[in-house]
Amino acid sequence: MTGAARTRFTRGATAAIPLLFVAIVPLQRGIDRYRASMSAPEELWVGSGTLLKTISMGYDALLADIYWTRAVQYYGAHFETGSSQFKELYPLMSIALTLDPRLTVVPRGGSILLSEPNPIGAGRPDQAVELLQQAIVGKHDDWQLYASLGFVYYWYMKDYGHASQVYLEGSQYPGAPIWMKGMAARIAELGGSRDTSVMVWSQIYQTATEPRARENAKQHLMALHAQADIEELQKIVDNYSGHIPRVTSLRDLVEDRVLPDVPVDPAGYAYVLNSSGVVTVNPASSVRMDILDAGKHDKAAE
């Protein structure tokens, strides 16, 4: 190609970009109107992504980025307003992934937002599984997708059989870390024990690239740490209360030299004893114990 021809080609391609978006606008408006008028099956959203891919004139990766950004903005807007409805989150992510199956940030980061219970997320781990399975079809040898899928099965769905199976399958692909095979064996043996949960969340925290997913993992690790502390402190309080009048404060145990000091949670706040004699985190602490409600561990497995 001559220099002049290359210049004409470049100008033509550049001029085509505005035309691309002109074509997409009415299509997207039509999709939005249809979404508003009825609840459509998930296959339609994938079909819409396929249609966008067909008319994208080679800019499907760019459109995928736009739809992923739109999904994140959609989530942020609804989260900030306290809305517990994230109905458009899965369709937006599925379209983005259809447009560019290589955009693995969509299923890896999106699966957490879909799985987390309201009001943090959509409370739809089933949709997270579908999104991850869609990603695996397009990029089946990516061990990180298997790790994310195994995690959803483990933490949000309590399906330890599938979780172990997925971790084991993912461990066979190039680059997979040795801990995946160990995770598969541990889950198969211990199910949802707290130690296993800490191990799983630690791996999420260390490998997460999306800031919100990393912060979410940190919050879960802090809550699991506090949960273990509270259980041990409660045992001490209950045993001690059997010998003297009921303990009214953890400071009582310090004064009687049962504890060297009042323990603090991972955020640095001292644990407290409520009026019912139950050890809890300080109301001022940033540790959120309710975050464990979606993944209460199986105490029988400990």
Q: Minimal CA–CA distance to 192: which of 158, 222, 223, 227?
A: 158
Output the pLDDT for position 294.
56
Amino acid at site 47: G
201: which residues sit within 8 A by CB, 6+ positions away? 155, 217, 220, 221, 224
Q: pLDDT, tens digit, for every residue of 253-279?
A: 898 888 999 999 999 999 999 988 899
Instruction: Answer yes or no: is pLDDT of 138 > 50.
Output: yes
Q: pLDDT, tens digit, for every residue of 22-37?
A: 444 444 554 454 444 4
13-214: which CATH architecture? Alpha Horseshoe (1.25)
pLDDT band at 12 (very low <50, low <70, confident <90, very high): very low
- Span 82-86, average pLDDT: 70
Instruction: Answer yes or no: is pLDDT of 289 > 80.
Output: yes
Residue 246 is given by DSSP the state P
Distance CA 190, CA 163 (A): 12
Output the pLDDT for position 58.
59
Distance CA 167, CA 186 (A): 10
Distance CA 107, CA 92 (A): 11
Distance CA 164, CA 188 (A): 6
Amino acid at site 17: I
If you search the block for the tokens 């080679």, which residue do you land on? 58
- pTM beyond cutoff 0.85: no
Residue 288 is given by DSSP the state -
Distance CA 48, CA 242 (A): 66
Output the pLDDT for position 175.
92
Output the pLDDT for position 227.
95
Domain extents in the chain:
13-214, 215-292
- Span 37-47, average pLDDT: 39
- Span 208-235, average pLDDT: 90
- Give the relative orientation of helices 194-207 and 143-151 as an angle to the nearest 10 degrees: 140
